[in-house]
Amino acid sequence: MPGPASPPEDASLFRQEVADVVALPPANRAAIPRPRTKPVPRQRLKDEKQALIDSLADPWEILDEGGRDAMESGEGLFYARPGVPAAALRKLRRGAWVIQAELDLHGLRSDEARLALAEFLLACARRDTRCVRIIHGKGLRSKNREPVLKLKLRHWLMQREDVLAFCQARPADGGSGAAIVLLKSRSRQFPE
């Protein structure tokens, strides 16, 4: 709200009082605008954190398309993403692809193995590596002598978009203690 109007004689009196005032010299400084801090998307960060927690959760059982336990049916480590040619999976199962890198998960706990797998696959993507071997072990030293990482590895690999197919390794490449994984190429994509 504007204040009460001052009488005209007040304005002339003010000009008389400040008549001998001299303006200060310019400061000779550059006027640099300060960058504004970006807003923090708190809800998106919460959502991403929850999605990471959910993605690290493992299923209690892994079922194949028919609802049977995939490990009992003998199909536990054979998978091809829809759109991947059957010939690519056949070549993978026969050992026709050259194994370009290897990851050994022996002795790791589940959470450590999951992180090691993620880092390994990211490094493979940067180098455009196509075929890798992941050694998960046969579970001979685990509780109940069950292959814990083998069960989890299948689930983890199926969640990743960069994994086209995987299968149990041939006996010469590690047999039931390893998996051979075919990864997407940055330069060549299979039709989907």
Assess if residue 34 is contained within a domain: no
Residue type, 170: R
The pLDDT assigned to 162 comes to 87
In angstroms, the CA 77 to CA 102 distance is 17
pTM > 0.75: yes or no: no
Assess if residue 132 is contained within a domain: yes
Assess if residue 131 is contained within a domain: yes
Give me the helices (H) in the chain, please: 8-17, 42-56, 86-94, 110-127, 148-159
Assess if residue 37 is contained within a domain: no
What's 167's domain CATH number?
3.30.1370.110
The pLDDT assigned to 126 comes to 87
Assess if residue 47 is contained within a domain: no
The pLDDT assigned to 191 comes to 44
Q: Which helix (H) or strand (E) holds 101?
A: strand 101-104
The pLDDT assigned to 192 comes to 38
The pLDDT assigned to 72 comes to 43
- Bridge partners of 168, per DSSP, are 179
Assess if residue 15 is contained within a domain: no
Number of domains in the chain: 1
- The residue range of the domain holding 159 is 77-183
Assess if residue 114 is contained within a domain: yes
Assess if residue 92 is contained within a domain: yes
pLDDT mean values, one per 10 residues, the chain (192 residues) = 67 89 82 83 78 56 44 59 84 86 86 89 88 81 67 85 88 82 72 41
b/e per residue 89-118 (b: at least 16 CB within 10 A) = beebbeeebebebebebeebebeebbeebe
The pLDDT assigned to 147 comes to 65
The pLDDT assigned to 146 comes to 64
